[in-house]
Amino acid sequence: MTIKEVQDEILRLKKEKDICVLAHSYQAREILEVADYTGDSYALSKMAAAAPNKTMLMCGVRFMAETVKILSPEKTVILSSPAAGCPMAEQFDKETILQLKKQYPGYTVVAYINTTAALKTVCDVCVTSASAVKIVSQLPGENILFIPDCNLGSYVAEQLPGKHIQLMQGGCPVHAAVTAAHVDEARRRHPDAELLVHPECIPAVAQKADYVGSTSGIMNYAIQSDKKEFIIGTENSIVEHLQYTCPDKRFYALSKSLLCEDMKATTLMDVLLCCQGKGGEIIELDADTIREARRCIDAMIALGG
Ligand code: 13P
Ligand code: SF4
């Protein structure tokens, strides 16, 4: 089958079976083209909560599919590729957080949405890269325990000097591998370009950027900017998507290593197999996990707006 034939069949099956396809912006172009909603993790979780369809197919990673299930337990939620995890989401377990809560009594536990559903059950509020500063700024207490990403946590702490943010040693192995030397080299090669980076990058990289923001934030900034050249410090699919969206501008990867194998685990054929009922993984969560994890996600949506 050609890409076009596969896409047409997906579009037909989606309609026939009332399937809503959600695709994170790190997915391949041919997948984004058949999705009902695309965007960053915050946008996808809000869209998932509002979508009327009976079946939700998440083309992204496991914690994103779990978030959809938590928000819509009555729906069938499918993760497009069972292999698509997020290493950061599994860096801490529930027991560790319960111990940390004893060590830091009275702290508000803020969980990056890149965490398992089980972990969210023992946290107070979730944040995404797009909503973290806004949400943490509204929390009543000064003391915050921020898990698991110390780089996003550092970025939030820099924006909110009035808060005391206790960081943990976790983070995204893909973004955290980018160094200040990559920035210096990219700036040398492209002296007129603006540097746009994701807050999962280390502080030494984020501090050199012209803009720090979520996947959608980076895309919107580049689309709206009058500038013509951009160095992109997030997963390299965004370089490609932006080049299609803005053919008159130029986009460069901050590092060749900015590739997330988990986000790339899903292929267009996986999407077809899921729509045919022959692929993917149906997400199952028990009622207690859904109820407890939902507190965290509802708090995020209430404070994030
Ligand atoms: P966004 O919140 O920007 O979608 O990021 C999710 C993610 O996994 C980035 O690595
Ligand atoms: Fe997880 Fe990093 Fe991949 Fe995002 S880019 S899904 S944080 S491993």
Q: Do domains 3-84+263-284 and 178-253 have the same CATH topology?
A: yes
Query: What is residue 61's predicted lDDT score, i.e. its pLDDT?
Result: 97
* CATH 3.40.50.10800, domain 94-172+290-302, yes or no: yes
In this prediction, residue 41 carries a pLDDT of 85
pLDDT of residue 13: 98
Reduced 3-state DSSP string for the chain: CCHHHHHHHHHHHHHHHCEEEEEECCCCHHHHCCCCEEECHHHHHHHHHHCCCCEEEEECCHHHHHHHHHHCCCCEEEECCCCCCCHHHHCCCHHHHHHHHHHCCCCEEEEECCCCHHHHCCCCEEECCCCHHHHHHHCCCCEEEEECEHHHHHHHHHHCCCCEEEECCECCCCHHHCCHHHHHHHHHHCCCCEEEECCCCCHHHHCCCCEECCHHHHHHHHHHCCCCEEEEECCCHHHHHHHHHCCCCEEEECCCCCCCCCCCCCCHHHHHHHHCCCCCEECCCCHHHHHHHHHHHHHHHHHHC
CB 193 within 8 A of CB 230: yes
Predicted pLDDT of residue 192: 97
Tokens standing for 38?
């695309």
pLDDT at position 199 is: 98
Least distant ligand from the CA of 148:
2
Domain ranges of the chain: 3-84+263-284, 94-172+290-302, 178-253
**Which residue has the CA at smallest separation from atom 2 of ligand 2?**
172
Structure tokens, 272 = 């077809």
Question: Atom 4 of ligand 1 has which residue's CA nearest to it?
Answer: 40
Binding site membership of 214 for ligand 1 (Cβ less than 6 Å): yes
Cα(241)–Cα(114) distance, integer angstroms? 23
Atom of ligand 1 nearest to the CA of 41: 4
* 158 alpha carbon – ligand 1 mean position (Å): 19
**Does ligand 1 have an atom closer than 6 angstroms to the CB of 237?**
no
Nearest to 144 by CA among 104, 182, 92: 104
CATH code for the part of the protein at 3-84+263-284: 3.40.50.10800
Question: Taking the model in full, what pTM does it have?
Answer: 0.95
Per-residue pLDDT at 48:
86
pLDDT of residue 45: 82
Q: Which CATH class name applies to 178-253?
A: alpha beta
Q: How far is CA 208 from CA 6, 63, 203, 226, 277, in A?
A: 43, 30, 9, 20, 47
Ligand 2 contacts (CB < 6 A) are 61, 86-88, 114, 172, 174-175, 200, 235, 260, 262-263
Report which protein residue has its CA nearest ligand 2's atom 5: 260
Nearest residue (by CA) to ligand 2, atom 8, is 86
How buried is 273 (Cβ within 10 angstroms: 0-12 exposed, 13-18 middle, 19+ buried)?
middle
Looking at residue 286, what is its pLDDT? 97
> Which residues in the chain land under pLDDT 70?
none
User: What pLDDT is recorded for position 112?
Assistant: 97
Number of CB atoms found within 10 A of residue 77's CB: 27
For the Cβ of 129 lying below 6 angstroms from any atom of ligand 1, the answer is yes
